[in-house]
A and B are shown apart, each in its own frame.
Chain A
Amino acid sequence: MSTFVTATTTQILTVPGASPLAPAAVVTLIVLLVLHELTDGLEGPHFRQLAWSIRAAIAPLLIILAANAAAKIVEALH
Protein backbone atom coordinates (compact mmCIF):
# COMPACT_ATOMS: atom_id res chain seq x y z
CA MET A 1 0.00 0.00 0.00
CA SER A 2 1.55 3.29 -1.06
CA THR A 3 0.49 6.85 -1.79
CA PHE A 4 3.48 7.29 -4.07
CA VAL A 5 2.47 4.88 -6.82
CA THR A 6 -1.22 3.95 -6.91
CA ALA A 7 -3.08 1.89 -9.49
CA THR A 8 -3.97 5.13 -11.27
CA THR A 9 -0.42 6.42 -11.55
CA THR A 10 0.73 3.00 -12.79
CA GLN A 11 -1.90 3.20 -15.54
CA ILE A 12 -0.75 6.70 -16.53
CA LEU A 13 2.97 5.92 -16.53
CA THR A 14 3.25 2.99 -18.90
CA VAL A 15 5.86 4.26 -21.32
CA PRO A 16 9.57 3.99 -20.32
CA GLY A 17 11.65 7.17 -20.56
CA ALA A 18 10.88 10.72 -19.44
CA SER A 19 7.44 11.23 -17.93
CA PRO A 20 4.85 12.81 -20.27
CA LEU A 21 3.58 14.83 -17.30
CA ALA A 22 7.00 16.25 -16.34
CA PRO A 23 6.66 19.54 -18.33
CA ALA A 24 4.10 20.90 -15.85
CA ALA A 25 6.56 20.26 -13.00
CA VAL A 26 9.38 21.94 -14.94
CA VAL A 27 7.24 25.04 -15.65
CA THR A 28 6.38 25.25 -11.92
CA LEU A 29 10.07 24.92 -11.07
CA ILE A 30 10.99 27.80 -13.43
CA VAL A 31 8.25 30.06 -11.99
CA LEU A 32 9.36 29.28 -8.42
CA LEU A 33 13.05 29.76 -9.26
CA VAL A 34 12.32 33.22 -10.73
CA LEU A 35 10.25 34.18 -7.68
CA HIS A 36 12.98 32.84 -5.40
CA GLU A 37 15.64 34.89 -7.15
CA LEU A 38 13.44 38.00 -6.92
CA THR A 39 12.79 37.63 -3.18
CA ASP A 40 16.06 36.09 -1.97
CA GLY A 41 18.09 39.22 -2.60
CA LEU A 42 15.65 41.53 -0.80
CA GLU A 43 16.29 42.66 2.77
CA GLY A 44 13.91 41.77 5.60
CA PRO A 45 12.77 38.69 7.51
CA HIS A 46 9.52 38.40 5.51
CA PHE A 47 11.35 38.01 2.21
CA ARG A 48 13.71 35.49 3.82
CA GLN A 49 10.65 33.56 5.06
CA LEU A 50 9.12 33.58 1.57
CA ALA A 51 12.39 32.39 0.01
CA TRP A 52 12.60 29.47 2.48
CA SER A 53 8.98 28.47 1.83
CA ILE A 54 9.64 28.39 -1.91
CA ARG A 55 12.74 26.24 -1.38
CA ALA A 56 10.46 23.50 0.04
CA ALA A 57 9.06 23.06 -3.48
CA ILE A 58 12.24 23.84 -5.44
CA ALA A 59 14.35 21.06 -3.89
CA PRO A 60 12.10 18.12 -4.91
CA LEU A 61 11.27 19.66 -8.30
CA LEU A 62 15.00 19.86 -9.06
CA ILE A 63 15.29 16.11 -8.33
CA ILE A 64 12.37 15.46 -10.70
CA LEU A 65 14.01 17.63 -13.40
CA ALA A 66 17.34 15.82 -12.98
CA ALA A 67 15.69 12.38 -13.21
CA ASN A 68 13.80 13.33 -16.38
CA ALA A 69 16.92 14.87 -17.93
CA ALA A 70 18.82 11.64 -17.20
CA ALA A 71 15.99 9.59 -18.76
CA LYS A 72 16.07 11.80 -21.88
CA ILE A 73 19.85 11.39 -22.17
CA VAL A 74 19.55 7.60 -21.83
CA GLU A 75 16.79 7.64 -24.46
CA ALA A 76 18.97 9.67 -26.84
CA LEU A 77 21.97 7.37 -26.31
CA HIS A 78 19.90 4.31 -27.18
Chain B
Amino acid sequence: MWRRSIKRLHIPSPAPILALGCLAAITITEALTSFGNPRAGMALYCALLAALVIGAGFLRLAPARCLLLGVSLAPMVRISSLALPLGGVPPALAALAAGIPPLAAGAVVVYSAGLSRQQIGLQATRLHREGLLGSVGLLLGPLLYLAQRQPPAGAPSLSALWAPMLALAGVGVIEEVLFRGIMQATAVQALGRPGILLPAALYAVLMGSASLFVGGVALAIGLLFGWIVQRRSSIVGVALAHALLNAVFILSSAILR
Protein backbone atom coordinates (compact mmCIF):
# COMPACT_ATOMS: atom_id res chain seq x y z
CA MET B 1 0.00 0.00 0.00
CA TRP B 2 2.80 2.39 0.91
CA ARG B 3 4.59 1.55 -2.29
CA ARG B 4 1.42 2.24 -4.31
CA SER B 5 0.89 5.64 -2.71
CA ILE B 6 4.57 6.52 -3.20
CA LYS B 7 4.25 5.61 -6.88
CA ARG B 8 1.24 7.98 -7.16
CA LEU B 9 3.23 10.87 -5.71
CA HIS B 10 4.04 13.35 -8.44
CA ILE B 11 7.66 14.43 -8.05
CA PRO B 12 8.20 17.61 -10.08
CA SER B 13 11.11 17.59 -12.49
CA PRO B 14 14.06 19.73 -11.36
CA ALA B 15 14.66 20.77 -14.99
CA PRO B 16 12.71 24.10 -15.04
CA ILE B 17 14.37 25.29 -11.82
CA LEU B 18 17.78 24.20 -13.12
CA ALA B 19 17.15 26.00 -16.43
CA LEU B 20 16.10 29.25 -14.74
CA GLY B 21 19.00 29.05 -12.28
CA CYS B 22 21.52 28.51 -15.09
CA LEU B 23 20.06 31.38 -17.13
CA ALA B 24 20.24 33.73 -14.13
CA ALA B 25 23.81 32.67 -13.26
CA ILE B 26 25.05 33.09 -16.84
CA THR B 27 23.31 36.49 -17.19
CA ILE B 28 24.94 37.78 -13.99
CA THR B 29 28.36 36.41 -15.01
CA GLU B 30 28.12 37.91 -18.49
CA ALA B 31 27.13 41.29 -17.01
CA LEU B 32 30.08 41.11 -14.59
CA THR B 33 32.46 40.20 -17.44
CA SER B 34 31.21 42.92 -19.80
CA PHE B 35 30.47 45.83 -17.47
CA GLY B 36 32.38 45.03 -14.29
CA ASN B 37 35.61 43.10 -13.80
CA PRO B 38 36.53 40.76 -16.72
CA ARG B 39 38.96 38.77 -14.52
CA ALA B 40 36.28 38.14 -11.89
CA GLY B 41 33.80 37.34 -14.67
CA MET B 42 36.21 34.85 -16.20
CA ALA B 43 36.81 33.18 -12.80
CA LEU B 44 33.05 32.96 -12.24
CA TYR B 45 32.52 31.49 -15.73
CA CYS B 46 35.17 28.83 -14.99
CA ALA B 47 33.52 28.00 -11.64
CA LEU B 48 30.14 27.84 -13.38
CA LEU B 49 31.48 25.50 -16.07
CA ALA B 50 33.00 23.18 -13.46
CA ALA B 51 29.78 23.25 -11.39
CA LEU B 52 27.66 22.41 -14.46
CA VAL B 53 29.71 19.43 -15.64
CA ILE B 54 30.24 18.06 -12.11
CA GLY B 55 26.54 18.62 -11.29
CA ALA B 56 25.56 16.84 -14.51
CA GLY B 57 27.72 13.90 -13.46
CA PHE B 58 25.88 13.53 -10.15
CA LEU B 59 22.32 13.84 -11.52
CA ARG B 60 20.44 10.57 -11.86
CA LEU B 61 17.63 11.91 -14.09
CA ALA B 62 18.87 11.66 -17.68
CA PRO B 63 16.98 14.71 -19.12
CA ALA B 64 18.14 17.02 -16.30
CA ARG B 65 21.69 15.73 -16.68
CA CYS B 66 21.62 16.34 -20.45
CA LEU B 67 20.17 19.82 -19.82
CA LEU B 68 23.15 20.79 -17.64
CA LEU B 69 25.61 19.37 -20.17
CA GLY B 70 23.92 21.35 -22.96
CA VAL B 71 23.90 24.57 -20.91
CA SER B 72 27.62 24.10 -20.10
CA LEU B 73 28.31 25.07 -23.74
CA ALA B 74 27.30 28.69 -22.97
CA PRO B 75 30.06 29.38 -20.38
CA MET B 76 32.43 27.46 -22.67
CA VAL B 77 31.69 29.93 -25.50
CA ARG B 78 32.72 32.91 -23.35
CA ILE B 79 35.71 31.15 -21.71
CA SER B 80 36.96 30.27 -25.19
CA SER B 81 36.65 33.84 -26.48
CA LEU B 82 38.44 35.25 -23.40
CA ALA B 83 41.13 32.62 -22.80
CA LEU B 84 42.33 31.96 -26.37
CA PRO B 85 45.30 34.07 -27.51
CA LEU B 86 43.28 36.15 -29.98
CA GLY B 87 44.80 39.59 -29.43
CA GLY B 88 45.83 41.10 -32.76
CA VAL B 89 43.88 38.50 -34.79
CA PRO B 90 41.28 39.98 -37.21
CA PRO B 91 37.83 39.81 -35.51
CA ALA B 92 36.20 37.45 -38.04
CA LEU B 93 39.05 34.93 -37.86
CA ALA B 94 39.17 35.30 -34.07
CA ALA B 95 35.47 34.47 -33.88
CA LEU B 96 36.00 31.34 -36.00
CA ALA B 97 38.97 30.25 -33.88
CA ALA B 98 37.01 30.86 -30.66
CA GLY B 99 34.28 28.58 -31.97
CA ILE B 100 36.56 25.53 -32.13
CA PRO B 101 36.82 24.70 -28.38
CA PRO B 102 33.03 24.96 -27.81
CA LEU B 103 32.52 22.74 -30.88
CA ALA B 104 34.86 20.14 -29.32
CA ALA B 105 32.83 20.43 -26.09
CA GLY B 106 29.66 19.97 -28.14
CA ALA B 107 30.99 16.76 -29.68
CA VAL B 108 31.69 15.31 -26.21
CA VAL B 109 28.24 16.44 -24.97
CA VAL B 110 26.56 14.71 -27.94
CA TYR B 111 28.41 11.47 -27.15
CA SER B 112 27.98 11.72 -23.39
CA ALA B 113 24.25 12.56 -23.58
CA GLY B 114 23.69 9.84 -26.19
CA LEU B 115 22.16 12.27 -28.71
CA SER B 116 21.61 10.97 -32.22
CA ARG B 117 22.33 12.87 -35.45
CA GLN B 118 18.56 13.23 -35.95
CA GLN B 119 18.06 14.64 -32.45
CA ILE B 120 20.51 17.47 -33.04
CA GLY B 121 18.97 18.16 -36.44
CA LEU B 122 21.90 17.12 -38.62
CA GLN B 123 19.59 15.84 -41.33
CA ALA B 124 17.76 17.29 -44.32
CA THR B 125 14.93 15.51 -46.09
CA ARG B 126 13.99 18.27 -48.55
CA LEU B 127 17.14 20.13 -49.48
CA HIS B 128 15.41 22.68 -51.75
CA ARG B 129 13.21 23.79 -48.83
CA GLU B 130 16.23 24.10 -46.56
CA GLY B 131 17.94 26.18 -49.26
CA LEU B 132 14.88 28.42 -49.55
CA LEU B 133 14.85 28.83 -45.78
CA GLY B 134 18.56 29.61 -45.83
CA SER B 135 18.03 32.44 -48.32
CA VAL B 136 16.21 34.36 -45.54
CA GLY B 137 19.71 35.20 -44.31
CA LEU B 138 20.34 37.19 -47.51
CA LEU B 139 17.50 39.50 -46.49
CA LEU B 140 18.23 39.63 -42.76
CA GLY B 141 21.93 40.54 -43.16
CA PRO B 142 21.50 43.99 -44.81
CA LEU B 143 18.37 44.71 -42.74
CA LEU B 144 20.29 44.16 -39.50
CA TYR B 145 23.18 46.27 -40.72
CA LEU B 146 20.84 49.14 -41.63
CA ALA B 147 19.02 48.82 -38.31
CA GLN B 148 22.24 48.84 -36.32
CA ARG B 149 23.89 51.56 -38.47
CA GLN B 150 27.25 50.78 -36.96
CA PRO B 151 29.98 48.78 -38.74
CA PRO B 152 31.30 45.85 -36.70
CA ALA B 153 34.73 46.24 -35.12
CA GLY B 154 37.43 45.92 -37.78
CA ALA B 155 35.04 45.91 -40.76
CA PRO B 156 37.26 45.04 -43.75
CA SER B 157 37.53 46.83 -47.06
CA LEU B 158 35.88 45.33 -50.18
CA SER B 159 39.17 43.99 -51.56
CA ALA B 160 39.90 41.90 -48.47
CA LEU B 161 36.39 40.60 -47.91
CA TRP B 162 36.39 36.92 -48.82
CA ALA B 163 38.25 35.62 -45.77
CA PRO B 164 36.06 37.46 -43.20
CA MET B 165 32.89 36.50 -45.10
CA LEU B 166 33.83 32.81 -45.15
CA ALA B 167 35.01 32.91 -41.51
CA LEU B 168 31.78 34.52 -40.31
CA ALA B 169 29.68 32.10 -42.39
CA GLY B 170 31.51 29.29 -40.56
CA VAL B 171 30.82 31.02 -37.24
CA GLY B 172 27.10 31.08 -38.07
CA VAL B 173 27.08 27.34 -38.76
CA ILE B 174 28.99 26.56 -35.53
CA GLU B 175 26.58 28.72 -33.48
CA GLU B 176 23.56 26.94 -34.93
CA VAL B 177 25.08 23.50 -34.24
CA LEU B 178 25.80 24.54 -30.63
CA PHE B 179 22.67 26.53 -29.76
CA ARG B 180 19.85 25.20 -31.98
CA GLY B 181 21.36 21.75 -32.46
CA ILE B 182 22.90 20.44 -29.23
CA MET B 183 21.64 22.91 -26.59
CA GLN B 184 18.06 22.95 -27.92
CA ALA B 185 17.94 19.14 -28.20
CA THR B 186 18.95 18.75 -24.54
CA ALA B 187 16.62 21.57 -23.39
CA VAL B 188 13.59 20.20 -25.27
CA GLN B 189 14.30 16.71 -23.86
CA ALA B 190 14.19 18.14 -20.32
CA LEU B 191 11.58 20.90 -20.63
CA GLY B 192 9.39 19.92 -23.57
CA ARG B 193 8.47 22.54 -26.19
CA PRO B 194 9.26 25.54 -23.93
CA GLY B 195 12.83 24.24 -24.12
CA ILE B 196 13.41 26.36 -27.24
CA LEU B 197 13.31 29.45 -24.97
CA LEU B 198 16.49 28.54 -23.08
CA PRO B 199 19.04 28.44 -25.95
CA ALA B 200 17.45 31.57 -27.47
CA ALA B 201 17.74 33.39 -24.13
CA LEU B 202 21.35 32.25 -23.58
CA TYR B 203 22.24 33.28 -27.13
CA ALA B 204 20.72 36.73 -26.49
CA VAL B 205 22.59 37.09 -23.18
CA LEU B 206 25.94 36.27 -24.82
CA MET B 207 25.23 38.65 -27.72
CA GLY B 208 23.54 41.36 -25.66
CA SER B 209 26.65 42.66 -23.93
CA ALA B 210 27.24 44.88 -26.99
CA SER B 211 23.86 46.65 -26.78
CA LEU B 212 20.24 45.99 -25.84
CA PHE B 213 19.29 46.25 -29.51
CA VAL B 214 21.70 43.46 -30.49
CA GLY B 215 20.45 41.35 -27.58
CA GLY B 216 16.82 41.89 -28.61
CA VAL B 217 17.55 40.99 -32.25
CA ALA B 218 19.50 37.89 -31.12
CA LEU B 219 16.56 36.82 -28.94
CA ALA B 220 14.08 37.28 -31.81
CA ILE B 221 16.31 35.40 -34.28
CA GLY B 222 17.03 32.69 -31.69
CA LEU B 223 13.32 32.14 -31.05
CA LEU B 224 12.48 32.13 -34.78
CA PHE B 225 15.30 29.71 -35.64
CA GLY B 226 14.50 27.56 -32.59
CA TRP B 227 10.85 27.29 -33.61
CA ILE B 228 11.83 26.39 -37.20
CA VAL B 229 14.27 23.70 -35.98
CA GLN B 230 11.61 22.29 -33.65
CA ARG B 231 9.09 22.08 -36.51
CA ARG B 232 11.43 20.76 -39.20
CA SER B 233 13.74 18.59 -37.05
CA SER B 234 16.67 19.94 -39.06
CA ILE B 235 19.22 22.68 -38.46
CA VAL B 236 20.44 22.71 -42.09
CA GLY B 237 18.14 25.56 -43.19
CA VAL B 238 18.76 27.82 -40.18
CA ALA B 239 22.51 27.12 -40.27
CA LEU B 240 22.55 28.22 -43.92
CA ALA B 241 20.43 31.27 -43.04
CA HIS B 242 22.79 32.22 -40.20
CA ALA B 243 25.87 31.72 -42.39
CA LEU B 244 24.40 33.92 -45.14
CA LEU B 245 23.20 36.49 -42.58
CA ASN B 246 26.72 36.86 -41.17
CA ALA B 247 28.37 36.94 -44.61
CA VAL B 248 25.94 39.52 -46.03
CA PHE B 249 26.15 41.58 -42.82
CA ILE B 250 29.93 41.97 -43.22
CA LEU B 251 29.49 42.61 -46.97
CA SER B 252 26.95 45.35 -46.19
CA SER B 253 29.33 46.90 -43.68
CA ALA B 254 32.00 47.13 -46.41
CA ILE B 255 29.66 48.45 -49.14
CA LEU B 256 27.40 50.80 -47.18
CA ARG B 257 29.84 52.39 -44.74
- Chain A residues with a Cβ under 8 A of chain B: 1-10, 12-19, 21-22, 24-25, 27-28, 31-32, 35, 39, 46, 49-57, 59-61, 63-64, 67-68, 70-71
Rounded to whole angstroms, the CA-CA distance of A10 and B30 in the bound complex is 15
* Residue in B closest to A22 when the chains form the complex, CB atoms: B83
Interface residue SS majority, chain B: helix
- Set of chain A residues within 8 Å of B175, measured between Cβ atoms: 2-4
Interface residue SS majority, chain A: helix
User: B203 interface residue, CB < 8 Å from A?
Assistant: yes
Given contacts A7-B209, A35-B54, A50-B54, contact A2 B246 (CB under 8 A): yes
A56 touches B46 (CB 8 A): no
- Set of chain B residues within 8 Å of A18, measured between Cβ atoms: 85
B207 touches A1 (CB 8 A): yes
Identify A5's interface contact among B47, B91, B203, B245, CB under 8 A: B91
A10 touches B57 (CB 8 A): no
- Set of chain A residues within 8 Å of B105, measured between Cβ atoms: 56-57, 59-60
- Set of chain A residues within 8 Å of B68, measured between Cβ atoms: 53
Question: Within the complex, what minimum Cβ distance (angstroms) separates A38 from chain B?
Answer: 12
Question: Within the complex, what minimum Cβ distance (angstroms) separates B66 from chain A?
Answer: 10
| Stretch from B74-82, B117-125, B190-198 at the A interface | B74-82
* Residue in B closest to A64 when the chains form the complex, CB atoms: B83
Number of A-B residue pairs, CB cutoff 8 Å, is: 180
Interface centre among A6, A8, A56 (most CB of B within 10 A): A56
B144 touches A54 (CB 8 A): no
Interface range on chain B (Cβ under 8 Å from partner): 35 or more
- Which residues, 37 to 95 on B, are CB-close (under 8 Å) to A? 38-39, 42-43, 45-47, 49-50, 53-54, 56-58, 60, 65, 68-69, 72, 76-88, 91, 94-95
List 12 A-B pairs, Cβ < 8 Å: A2-B171, A4-B171, A8-B209, A13-B94, A16-B88, A32-B50, A50-B57, A53-B54, A56-B69, A57-B50, A57-B105, A60-B76
* Residue in A closest to B35 when the chains form the complex, CB atoms: A8
Given contacts A10-B153, A19-B85, A51-B57, contact A4 B33 (CB under 8 A): no
* Residue in B closest to A14 when the chains form the complex, CB atoms: B87
